[in-house]
Amino acid sequence: MIKLGGRDTDVVLLDENGKRSDGRTVNETRKVTIKAGVLKNANGSAYIEFGENKILAGIYGPRDVHPKHLSNPDTGILRCRYHMSPFSVGDRKNPAPSRREIEISKVIKEALEPAVILDQFPRTVVDIFLEILQADGGTRCAALAAASVALADAGIPMRDMVSACAAGKVADTVILDVNNEEDQAGQADMPMGYMPNLKKITLLQLDGVLTPEEYKKCVEVGIDGCNQVYEIQKKALEEKYFSKGDQ
């Protein structure tokens, strides 16, 4: 059994060759694929597979706000709902929204607000719906990355994309992209959302214990991960909009 500062586990989180429990090195993200424009009815959409995470993002808007008292006469507003399907996790989850889902919805909305430009759409709302079909650690980052692609697919004006990835710590080592096992048994998990061109971090949370040095390293490593995910986001949009041309 190996004690690693998190929960006791008999899974080796980092072996003597620098390999993690799923074979990755400390600076490697899981496999990420994104497809833009996957739903027929939504104004914009994206599907992401981030490791074993499978998430659908759908956008409606800008559109009328109901109830009316939520509408802002000077600008459009963002609404975000992060929701897990009952079959998405090991122990079946009740479909009613949990406090965790409500908090994550808020945090993701605030990660996207600095990027979207809605002052040209007063009295409207842009609704962002994030559906977790299968969860395996880091769903909020994967959902945020998909949301950004779906917003671009819907034509919502944005000053930058928002990318996302988590950094963390296992076996006293800072790692990139924490999976479920590492989240359960590791020492720290730091999800991050990042605008890659404006270089601003718009989502940041921490669960665990970090020294000041480890904290700086985590932020650096997280930014690097976000830049890697940004390349996948670009590819998804290029595939849908730019690759069909004879240019």
Does position 44 interact with another protein (CB under 8 A)? The reply is yes
Taking alpha carbons only, the member of 151, 177, 176, 116 closest to residue 233 is: 151
Output the six-digit token pair for 183: 């989240």
Q: Are 154 and 43 in contact (CB under 8 A)?
A: yes
Place of tokens 């692609």: 149
Nearer CB in complex with another protein: 42/167: 42
Binder of another protein out of 136, 183, 189, 214 (CB under 8 A): 136
Binder of another protein out of 198, 209, 216, 220 (CB under 8 A): 198
| b/e per residue 174-193 (b: at least 16 CB within 10 A) | bbbbbbbbbbebbbbbbbbb
Instruction: Outline where the chain has alpha helix (H).
Output: 99-112, 139-153, 180-185, 212-241
Binder of another protein out of 31, 92, 106, 216 (CB under 8 A): 92
Does position 120 interact with another protein (CB under 8 A)? The reply is yes
Q: Mask 46-85, x = binds another protein (CB under 8 A)?
A: ------x-x-xxx-xxxxx-x------x--x----x-x-x
Least Å distance between CB 164 and another protein? 14
Taking alpha carbons only, the member of 151, 181, 149 closest to residue 47 is: 149
**Given the rule CB under 8 A, which residues bind another protein?**
39-45, 52, 54, 56-58, 60-64, 66, 73, 76, 81, 83, 85-92, 95-96, 115, 117, 120-124, 127, 129, 131, 133-134, 136, 152-161, 195-198, 234, 237-238, 241-242, 244-247
